[in-house]
Amino acid sequence: MSQQRASPGPPEGEQPPVDGRGRLARLLLPGGEEPDPRVTLANERTFLAWIRTAMALLAGGIALEAFAVDVFDEPARKAVAVMLIALGMLVSGGAFVRWVGVERAAREHQPIPVPLIAPVLGLGGALGAVVVGYYILRG
Protein backbone atom coordinates (compact mmCIF):
# COMPACT_ATOMS: atom_id res chain seq x y z
CA MET A 1 0.00 0.00 0.00
CA SER A 2 1.55 3.31 -1.04
CA GLN A 3 1.19 6.41 0.98
CA GLN A 4 0.05 9.54 -0.79
CA ARG A 5 0.96 12.92 0.57
CA ALA A 6 -1.74 15.50 0.69
CA SER A 7 -0.81 18.60 -1.26
CA PRO A 8 -0.16 21.51 1.05
CA GLY A 9 -3.10 23.83 1.05
CA PRO A 10 -3.22 27.50 1.93
CA PRO A 11 -2.35 28.52 5.48
CA GLU A 12 -5.11 28.06 8.00
CA GLY A 13 -7.79 30.72 7.70
CA GLU A 14 -6.77 31.71 4.13
CA GLN A 15 -8.95 30.79 1.19
CA PRO A 16 -7.27 29.12 -1.80
CA PRO A 17 -7.18 31.28 -4.94
CA VAL A 18 -10.20 30.62 -7.10
CA ASP A 19 -8.38 31.29 -10.36
CA GLY A 20 -5.25 29.28 -9.49
CA ARG A 21 -3.01 32.37 -9.69
CA GLY A 22 -0.42 33.26 -7.09
CA ARG A 23 -0.45 36.21 -4.73
CA LEU A 24 1.81 38.38 -6.91
CA ALA A 25 -0.35 37.78 -9.99
CA ARG A 26 -3.49 38.68 -8.05
CA LEU A 27 -1.79 41.83 -6.75
CA LEU A 28 -0.54 43.05 -10.15
CA LEU A 29 -3.52 41.84 -12.19
CA PRO A 30 -6.47 42.00 -9.82
CA GLY A 31 -9.45 41.82 -12.16
CA GLY A 32 -10.72 40.71 -15.49
CA GLU A 33 -10.50 37.33 -17.09
CA GLU A 34 -7.57 35.33 -18.38
CA PRO A 35 -6.67 36.58 -21.90
CA ASP A 36 -5.71 34.41 -24.83
CA PRO A 37 -2.22 33.03 -24.06
CA ARG A 38 -0.96 34.43 -27.36
CA VAL A 39 -1.70 37.96 -26.13
CA THR A 40 0.15 37.34 -22.87
CA LEU A 41 3.14 35.80 -24.67
CA ALA A 42 3.28 38.66 -27.20
CA ASN A 43 3.20 41.15 -24.32
CA GLU A 44 6.06 39.27 -22.66
CA ARG A 45 8.13 39.31 -25.88
CA THR A 46 7.59 43.06 -26.16
CA PHE A 47 8.65 43.50 -22.53
CA LEU A 48 11.84 41.56 -23.23
CA ALA A 49 12.55 43.71 -26.31
CA TRP A 50 12.30 46.85 -24.14
CA ILE A 51 14.63 45.22 -21.59
CA ARG A 52 17.17 44.43 -24.34
CA THR A 53 17.03 48.06 -25.40
CA ALA A 54 17.56 49.19 -21.80
CA MET A 55 20.55 46.86 -21.45
CA ALA A 56 22.05 48.21 -24.68
CA LEU A 57 21.70 51.77 -23.39
CA LEU A 58 23.35 50.82 -20.09
CA ALA A 59 26.18 49.04 -21.92
CA GLY A 60 26.61 52.03 -24.23
CA GLY A 61 26.88 54.43 -21.30
CA ILE A 62 29.41 52.25 -19.55
CA ALA A 63 31.42 51.71 -22.75
CA LEU A 64 31.43 55.42 -23.54
CA GLU A 65 32.78 56.26 -20.10
CA ALA A 66 35.35 53.45 -20.15
CA PHE A 67 36.66 53.55 -23.72
CA ALA A 68 36.07 57.03 -25.19
CA VAL A 69 38.57 58.89 -23.04
CA ASP A 70 40.57 60.05 -26.09
CA VAL A 71 37.53 60.98 -28.19
CA PHE A 72 35.53 63.32 -25.91
CA ASP A 73 36.53 65.76 -23.23
CA GLU A 74 35.58 64.60 -19.74
CA PRO A 75 32.47 66.75 -19.06
CA ALA A 76 30.81 65.79 -22.35
CA ARG A 77 31.76 62.13 -22.03
CA LYS A 78 30.39 61.92 -18.50
CA ALA A 79 27.23 63.81 -19.44
CA VAL A 80 26.41 61.51 -22.37
CA ALA A 81 27.36 58.38 -20.39
CA VAL A 82 25.12 59.40 -17.48
CA MET A 83 22.32 60.29 -19.90
CA LEU A 84 22.54 56.86 -21.58
CA ILE A 85 22.58 55.07 -18.23
CA ALA A 86 19.63 57.12 -16.94
CA LEU A 87 17.74 56.49 -20.18
CA GLY A 88 18.40 52.76 -19.78
CA MET A 89 17.02 52.90 -16.25
CA LEU A 90 13.90 54.76 -17.43
CA VAL A 91 13.30 52.32 -20.26
CA SER A 92 13.73 49.36 -17.93
CA GLY A 93 11.23 50.71 -15.40
CA GLY A 94 8.90 51.84 -18.16
CA ALA A 95 8.98 48.36 -19.68
CA PHE A 96 7.55 46.90 -16.49
CA VAL A 97 4.86 49.57 -16.23
CA ARG A 98 4.00 48.98 -19.89
CA TRP A 99 3.83 45.20 -19.42
CA VAL A 100 1.41 45.54 -16.49
CA GLY A 101 -0.72 48.10 -18.35
CA VAL A 102 -1.06 45.95 -21.45
CA GLU A 103 -1.77 42.81 -19.42
CA ARG A 104 -4.48 44.60 -17.43
CA ALA A 105 -6.01 46.03 -20.60
CA ALA A 106 -6.09 42.58 -22.19
CA ARG A 107 -7.69 41.06 -19.09
CA GLU A 108 -10.38 43.78 -19.01
CA HIS A 109 -10.97 43.92 -22.80
CA GLN A 110 -9.84 47.56 -22.91
CA PRO A 111 -7.78 49.37 -25.56
CA ILE A 112 -4.02 48.91 -25.29
CA PRO A 113 -2.42 51.96 -23.60
CA VAL A 114 -0.07 54.27 -25.48
CA PRO A 115 3.61 53.39 -24.89
CA LEU A 116 4.87 56.41 -22.94
CA ILE A 117 8.46 55.15 -22.95
CA ALA A 118 8.65 55.34 -26.76
CA PRO A 119 8.85 59.17 -26.89
CA VAL A 120 11.27 59.19 -23.94
CA LEU A 121 13.51 56.75 -25.76
CA GLY A 122 13.23 58.63 -29.05
CA LEU A 123 13.97 62.04 -27.56
CA GLY A 124 16.77 60.70 -25.36
CA GLY A 125 18.39 58.93 -28.30
CA ALA A 126 18.11 62.04 -30.47
CA LEU A 127 19.65 64.22 -27.77
CA GLY A 128 22.53 61.79 -27.32
CA ALA A 129 23.10 61.66 -31.08
CA VAL A 130 23.18 65.48 -31.29
CA VAL A 131 25.81 65.72 -28.53
CA VAL A 132 27.96 62.94 -30.00
CA GLY A 133 27.59 64.40 -33.51
CA TYR A 134 28.65 67.83 -32.27
CA TYR A 135 31.83 66.46 -30.76
CA ILE A 136 32.66 64.36 -33.81
CA LEU A 137 32.20 67.33 -36.16
CA ARG A 138 34.07 69.68 -33.83
CA GLY A 139 37.07 67.41 -33.40
Give per-10-residue mean pLDDT for the chain (139 aa). 53 57 79 87 95 95 87 83 92 93 93 88 85 78
**Cβ-contact 127, 52 below 8 angstroms:** no
Residue 15: what pLDDT?
Answer: 55
> H helices of 29-139, where?
37-67, 74-107, 117-138
Q: With a threshold of 0.75, does the pTM exceed it?
A: no
Residue 127: what pLDDT?
Answer: 85
Instruction: Of 117, 129, 68, give the one whose Cα is nearest residue 89.
Output: 117
Residue 17: what pLDDT?
Answer: 52
Instruction: Please say whether the dihedral angle defined by the alpha carbons of residues 11, 15, 21 and 25, taken in this order, is positive or negative.
Output: negative
